[in-house]
Amino acid sequence: MVMLSDTNAKILVVDDDFGVRNLIYRYLGQKYQIESAADGKTALRLFEQFSPTLVILDWNLPDMSGYQLCQEMQSRTNVLIMMLTSRNAEEDKIKIISAGADDFITKPFSLAEVEVRVQALLRRVRSINPSAPQRLVFKQLAINPEGREVTLNDQPLNLTALEFNILHFLASHPGQAWSRPQLIQKIWGCDHPGDGRVVDVHIGQLRKKLEVDTSVPEFIKTVRGYGYKFESPEATNV
């Protein structure tokens, strides 16, 4: 992963509200390289041309949903997504997280809060160890950090960027239990203001893709009252 400085981080702002889009563009444009779009079609075109590190994306767009756009962008690159939403119901927040968003902010918001969240997300990218990562193999499961690819029984798993980060982190420490606050600190970054619910939702989505039976997971185990741990098949057979 290329180390980033504040001046070369690229951010794409996607919102059909000109006032919101323009405010974020002008505020963050003092520090970052910024492009903006008012709809999904324009956003995808700019996404290919601009290759942003982070996309600030409105949940409701005139031509497609933020859910669709988030998944489309993350299927192309490992881009970070911060979602903007006017909804604050619990089920709406869970849906946003399930879409693969790395973070979200509820409207109305302050520009200072946007900047703090952006800094926390970009710090996660910069903090990744630049040394050559090792491929992890657990019988039928293989994790390739360099290509950010996961295969199970020789079939590729379509993981979001955040799902890959969670799986790779847990698998890099097999048998070690991690609390939800620890996972938020290690994966989202120490400044992320999220809570344990975020971890639970992403673990649930990851298990749907990884486990044969999500009620009896083989790889990612729940440590009751605490958090989660990764168990390799080899460890369970000893």
User: What are the structural domain ranges in the chain?
Assistant: 10-126, 136-237
Per residue in 103-141, pLDDT tens?
888 888 999 999 998 988 887 664 444 444 678 998 889
Sheet of strand 54-58, all strands in order from the earlier edge strand to the far edge: 33-37, 10-14, 54-58, 80-85, 103-106
pTM flag (> 0.85): no
**Can you name the CATH fold of 136-237?**
Arc Repressor Mutant, subunit A (1.10.10)
How far is it, in rounded angstroms, from Cα 125 to Cα 102?
A: 12
Fold agreement (10-126, 136-237): no
Per residue in 136-164, pLDDT tens?
998 889 999 888 899 999 999 988 888 89
Closest CA to 23 of 142, 152, 114, 121: 114
How far is it, in rounded angstroms, from Cα 211 to Cα 205?
A: 10
Q: Which CATH superfamily is domain 10-126 in?
A: Response regulator (3.40.50.2300)
